[in-house]
Amino acid sequence: MIKVRGPLTVWLNGRIQVVKEVRLEGNADDEVECKGCLLTHSFVNAHTHLPMILLRGLVSEKGFWDWLEEIQRLEEEMGKKEIEAGYYLGLWENLLSGNTVVYSMYRDYDLVEETFGMELHTGPISFREADEDVFFLLERFERKAPEGVVPTLFAHSLYKLPLKRLKEIAELLGEKPIEFQIHASETKEEVLEVKRKFGQYPVRVMEALGLLTPRTMLVHAGWITKSELDIAARYGTSLVHVPASNARLAIHGFFPWKEAEERGIRVLFGTDSPASNDGQSILHDLRLALLFAKDRYWDAEPFGWRNVSGAFDKKGFALWEPRETVLSVGKPLVNTFLYAPHLFSLRLLLRRGKVLWPQKVPGRVDQALKVAERFRERMGELHFK
């Protein structure tokens, strides 16, 4: 049992209160003094591409399509050793950011053998026609997935995949209660290409194919229509908002947060890849999401701490220590946390009673850093940070 002595602010399950102390289940008997601190649930990073942490900062100040072309050229330089290192560095950075659940869409997902106590959702990704049979890949991965890894199905996009593969995925979704994630309505050009290819807008195509379920997550959704939102709501399909990456690549469109909430659609939050974000902090992305929403709806009222429930992992806890100059408690402290996250540092992170932070840097992370440094030098960089 871990006792946290305050007084401190507790923000859990939509409720904010100030208490003298909190007791948390933990795998160590300890007492933490943290006056003025904030206790929250830990975060869910609902969309990223972990190994791309090796590419952080290498391609900057470019529009999406030019960025994508250059990034894919660099990705060809990454072998299994580099990809494995990227997984471990990406997981570790998520942990240090207060994230305890991560959804990662990337190849060679079966290289991960350890998750540092986090929950990693990863698995087969359909990217092109030549990919192996998705049924076989998923079945094999389900048999060998290590502790902490939840097999999940991914598809790059409607415009990348042939109709035959999309139908195979839909068949699998009809047979297995498995989570499925796909980029959808990410760019204006993508929407036009899907309409040219299939004769319908993306979500209507997914409905016709059978890709929409309560476990389907549509990532980006910056160019989605209201009628498509109605369809997503009928199937219980979720949206994943990735504000920092969208803004950095200038593809943002308009994420329909308010319209989604009005329809009862669950809104999750992701960082997207470290090559386009550049960080892995859901807390920092929440700040952008809230500011963008207030600005684009011309309304400061509807969006605040009550609207971000989809960002939290209810099985995890994070204790945040503010700087000495943060004098707030209660709701004002939560507001400061969301709008000035740089003023807070992670003091304690737990999931399912296990202390994830602080802990000694795992050997896999140390080894991954060495691999990453050699890769970055090969790419013309002197240091990896």
List the 238-241 sheet strands across, edge first.
125-126, 153-155, 180-184, 216-220, 238-241, 267-269
Q: Whole-angstrom Cα distance, residue 151 to residue 175?
A: 15
Q: Is 171 exposed, middle or buried (0-12, 13-18, 19+ CB in 10 A)?
A: middle
The residue to which tokens 């529009």 are assigned: 63
CB 27 within 8 A of CB 355: yes
Quick: pLDDT tens for 315-360. 999 999 999 999 899 999 999 999 999 999 999 999 999 999 999 9
H/E run at residue 33: strand 30-33
pTM: 0.96
Handedness of CA 364, 370, 373, 375 (dihedral sign): negative
Q: The tokens of 302 are what?
A: 């509807």
Q: Which residue has the higher pLDDT, 232 or 31?
A: 232
Q: Which CATH class is domain 42-312?
A: alpha beta
Cis peptide before 7 (omega within 30 of 0): yes
Q: How confident is the model at residue 384 (pLDDT cuts 50, 70, 90)?
A: very low
Quick: pLDDT tens for 174-228. 999 999 999 999 999 999 999 999 999 999 999 999 999 999 999 999 999 999 9
Model pLDDT, residue 129: 60
Q: What is the mean pLDDT of residues 140-157?
A: 95
Cis peptide before 278 (omega within 30 of 0): yes
Would you list the domain boundaries of the chain? 42-312
Which parts of 89-213 are beta strand (E)?
Answer: 99-104, 119-122, 125-126, 149-151, 153-155, 180-184
Q: How many CA atoms lie within 13 A of 363 on its CB side?
A: 1
Q: The tokens of 52 are what?
A: 């791309």
Q: How confident is the model at residue 130 (pLDDT cuts 50, 70, 90)?
A: low
Q: State the amino acid at position 98 in one-letter form.
A: G
